[in-house]
Structure 1
Amino acid sequence: MKRAFVNGGYQGDEAQRAAFEASRITVTVVKRTDKEVKGFVVLPKRWVVERTLGWINRARRLSKDFEATINAALAWLQLALAFLIMRRLAMPKTRQA
């Protein structure tokens, strides 16, 4: 992963510097446009993160933060994502005419 799309809460220099120093990830802030737009508007790239977090929250073990170490939490997260990918790959392909 080379780029992370984040919300306005991470727009400071400190968050961007920490992400880059930790794993060479470039942070891109997706800003809201509430002042300019009326009604519901899908923000670019933001829905990808929210959708992924929604899928991850379906794993019961990840619904609470009970792991003793970061490595254990990361292992369970990777396992949940692996099950998600396997389920998607196992779905039959429907052919559209």
Structure 2
Amino acid sequence: SRTILGRELEIVRKAPDQRGFQVQPKRWAIERTFSWLTAHRRLARDYETSPARSETMIRWAMIGIMVRRLTRGGPATRPGARSLLRNVT
């Protein structure tokens, strides 16, 4: 672990005997957050020339994500499997 910019940084590496893919919980949380951010069109590419403006756009995107979650009113749900046959009678 190392402290950078007042934040604790821990690099998570895979086990030496690990073969193939294995989900690493901490890394998964970061990858999921990046996925949420890149859903915002302006953050899908590196358009910003100023790091401060880039940080501002990331903050705006996260504010939008959090507001949607807070106003949703219930737990997050995942759409179930869709049937290929619709309205078959």
Question: If the length of structure 2 is used for normalisation, what is the TM-score?
Answer: 0.71
Moved over 6 A (4+): none
Question: If the length of structure 1 is used for normalisation, what is the TM-score?
Answer: 0.66
Counterpart in the other structure of 1:32: 14
For 1:74 and 1:52, how far apart are their aligned partners in 2? Answer: 15
Q: Which has the higher contact order (CA 8 A, sep 6+)?
A: 1
Please list every run of 5 or more consecutive structure 2 residues that lacks an aligned counterpart in the other structure: 76-89
Counterpart of 2:38 in structure 1: which amino acid? N
Counterpart in the other structure of 1:7: none
Counterpart in the other structure of 1:75: 56
Please list every run of 5 or more consecutive structure 1 residues that lacks an aligned counterpart in the other structure: 4-15
Q: How many percent of aligned residue pairs carry the same amino acid? A: 28
Offset, 1:91: 1.1
Alpha-carbon RMSD across the aligned residues, in angstroms, is 2.0
User: Do 1:30 and 1:44's aligned partners in 2 also have CA atoms closer than 8 Å?
Assistant: no
